[in-house]
Amino acid sequence: AESFNEAVAGADALNAYVEKTPELAIEAAKAADEARSSVSLKPLSGIPLGMKDLFATEGVLTSAGSKMLGNFKPPYESTVSANLKAAGAGMLGKLNMDEFAMGSSNETCAHGNVISPWRREGSNAGITPGGSSGGSAAAVSARIAPGATGTDTGGSIRQPAAFTGITGIKPTYGRCSRWGIVAFASSLDQAGPMARTVRDCAIMLENMAGFDPKDSTSIDAPVPQWEAGLSSDLKGKRVGVPKEYRIDGTPAEIDALWDQGVEWLRDAGAEPVEISLQHTKYALPTYYILAPAEASSNLARYDGVRYGLRETVEGGGLHDMYKATRSEGFGDEVKRRIMIGTYVLSAGFYDAYFTKAQRVRALIKQDFRKAFERCDMILTPTAPSAAFGLGEKTDPLAMYLNDVFAVPASLAGLPAMSVPGGLDKDGLPLGLHLIGNEMDEQTVLNAGLAIE
Ligand code: GLN
């Protein structure tokens, strides 16, 4: 309990937790102590993990980083958190995040932003841990949680992992159940682990994934033994290097790290091949039509009637209550997404935006399908920059551009991972990004192991 209190004091400075649950972590630790003397030790017995505040946790605050759910304690548990618990893990608490997972810097949280444990050399200015799983990234990076859950709709596991020098994997869409995860964009949302090493990620993912009849898009396939299958020998594997990911304005050191990454994979036995993902430049606009469209629909449920916040207006009717609740409960970025989403779904613009974006999404998927006929994995940088300073990016479009390398794999539903690659000129971490073919997390993990 004492070391826990010490650890949370460190966490407080980062604003990583929105709710701490030491009693749950201690309970799991005690159960592990008892199990040690018997044969009932489980894969994660006693391991304390942080939980992104997007996972419903029974009787424990689940706010999704929003004022709208500021007092929401679900009467049920998400499948992923239940799976981790069943594997023996304890929960340290709920980790801060961008509101409803919309953001790339953790500056849209209703609970105030998370601060990265990293600083630029010679500066004390606060740095973003990335987003939206910024609390998870900061806690793991600061070594106050050995692992944490994240969710990734368009990079929210991979970009914060890259910004904080840790490892995070988004599995194939459908591997982890979405049941009990507060929905952002349902056709893209996927849970995954964030941890210090590839091995830890493999162990966590094995205990998070699995078929769940409660999620209609859950994949009905056995969970592979990823940890047992780990090997950094990549002989016979081809690594695709997509030429469309060389984009103007990417700092030279990021391109240099990418080249270095190719060499590391070559040293491990892989053969590099140049590939083309033709529609890459349309991925970002496609994502920023589809994700807000789905979000506007998913967030319609927050009307003051069923969940969380309710703001009433003296003498007003039902519509006044909706309006007051939604005006008060949602932050600016969420409102922006709802407006974009309702616009692209409106009768007059549906075909011009939503239908077209769906079509482009199919083309992006096809690009990957063709590319994987020529290679077994794809290597790119995770993000076009290292972590930026808090308050430094105020233009929403500039913020969206940060997701440029992460969103194509999300649109295609493919497994993708960020592993630490090195440091930039200011001493901040940079990540390398591995994309795998559908259901082939193993190759991604193995290549990550070769790099780490
Ligand atoms: N940064 C992206 C966005 O704001 C991705 C978020 C996510 O993956 N949850 O939508």
- Asked if residue 9 is part of any domain, the answer here is yes
- Asked if residue 403 is part of any domain, the answer here is no
399 Cα to the center of ligand 1, angstroms: 10
- Tell me whether residue 425 is one of the annotated catalytic residues: no
Take residue 121 and report the two structure tokens written for it. Answer: 């050399």
Measure the CA–CA gap between 85 and 162, rounded to whole angstroms: 27
Which ligand 1 atom is nearest residue 287's CA? 10
User: Would you list the DSSP string of 292-332?
Assistant: HHHHHHHGGG-SSSSSS-----TT--HHHHHHHHHHHHS-H
Q: Of residues 52, 67, 94, 170, which has the active-site annotation?
A: 52
The predicted pLDDT at position 1 comes to 54
Q: Mutation test of ligand 1: which of 53, 55, 132 has the most ligand atoms closer than 8 Å to its C-beta?
A: 132
For tokens 């994987």, the residue is: 372
Take residue 312 and report the two structure tokens written for it. Answer: 């009433």
- Asked if residue 64 is part of any domain, the answer here is yes
- Asked if residue 406 is part of any domain, the answer here is no
- Asked if residue 302 is part of any domain, the answer here is no
SS3 assignment, position 10: helix
Measure the CA–CA gap between 74 and 59, rounded to whole angstroms: 6
The total of structural domains in the chain comes to: 1
With a cut of 70, say whether residue 7 has pLDDT above it: no
Q: Which has the minimum average pLDDT: 2-6, 71-75, 403-407?
A: 2-6
Q: Is the dihedral of CA 369, 373, 379, 380 positive or negative?
A: negative
- ipTM for the assembly: 0.97
Measure the CA–CA gap between 237 and 438, rounded to whole angstroms: 16
Residue 102, ligand 1, Cβ within 6 A? yes
The predicted pLDDT at position 113 comes to 96
State pLDDT tens for residues 103-114. 999 999 999 999
Whether residue 132 has a cis bond before it, omega within 30° of 0: yes
Residue 104, ligand 1, Cβ within 6 A? yes
pTM: 0.96
The predicted pLDDT at position 40 comes to 78
The predicted pLDDT at position 323 comes to 96
State pLDDT tens for residues 136-145. 999 999 999 9
Residue 156, ligand 1, Cβ within 6 A? yes
With a cut of 80, say whether residue 259 has pLDDT above it: yes
Which ligand 1 atom is nearest residue 188's CA? 8
Measure the CA–CA gap between 408 and 174, rounded to whole angstroms: 17
- Tell me whether residue 52 is one of the annotated catalytic residues: yes
Q: Is the dihedral of CA 103, 247, 405, 418 positive or negative?
A: negative
- Asked if residue 11 is part of any domain, the answer here is yes
155 Cα to the center of ligand 1, angstroms: 6
Residue 46 pairs in a beta bridge with none
Q: CATH code at 199?
A: 3.90.1300.10
Cα maximum dimension of the chain: 73
The predicted pLDDT at position 307 comes to 82
The predicted pLDDT at position 138 comes to 97
- Asked if residue 56 is part of any domain, the answer here is yes
The predicted pLDDT at position 5 comes to 63
145 Cα to the center of ligand 1, angstroms: 23
Measure the CA–CA gap between 78 and 331, rounded to whole angstroms: 25
Q: Is the dihedral of CA 238, 241, 242, 243 positive or negative?
A: negative
Q: Nearest CA to 53 among 130, 136, 116, 161?
A: 136
Domain of residue 186, residue span:
2-206
- Asked if residue 425 is part of any domain, the answer here is no
The predicted pLDDT at position 4 comes to 59
162 Cα to the center of ligand 1, angstroms: 14
Radius of gyration of the chain (CA): 21
Take residue 394 and report the two structure tokens written for it. Answer: 């105020």
For tokens 């690594």, the residue is: 239
Residue 20 pairs in a beta bridge with 93
Q: Nearest CA to 11 among 194, 159, 145?
A: 145
Residue 176, ligand 1, Cβ within 6 A? no
Q: What percent of the chain has pLDDT over 70?
A: 97
Question: Buried b / exposed e across 284-303, counting CB within 10 Å, b at 16+?
Answer: bebbbbbbbbbbbbbbeebb
The predicted pLDDT at position 398 comes to 92
Task: Compute the mean pLDDT over every residue in the chain, rounded to the nearest whole number.
Answer: 96
Q: Of residues 63, 66, 141, 156, which has the active-site annotation?
A: 156
Q: Nearest CA to 152 among 435, 410, 451?
A: 410
Q: Nearest CA to 335 among 358, 306, 302?
A: 302
The predicted pLDDT at position 34 comes to 86
Q: Nearest CA to 328 among 313, 309, 305?
A: 309
Measure the CA–CA gap between 81 and 227, rounded to whole angstroms: 20
- Tell me whether residue 231 is one of the annotated catalytic residues: no
With a cut of 70, say whether residue 122 has pLDDT above it: yes
**Other Cβ atoms closer than 10 A to 324:** 17
Take residue 336 and report the two structure tokens written for it. Answer: 């922006």
153 Cα to the center of ligand 1, angstroms: 6
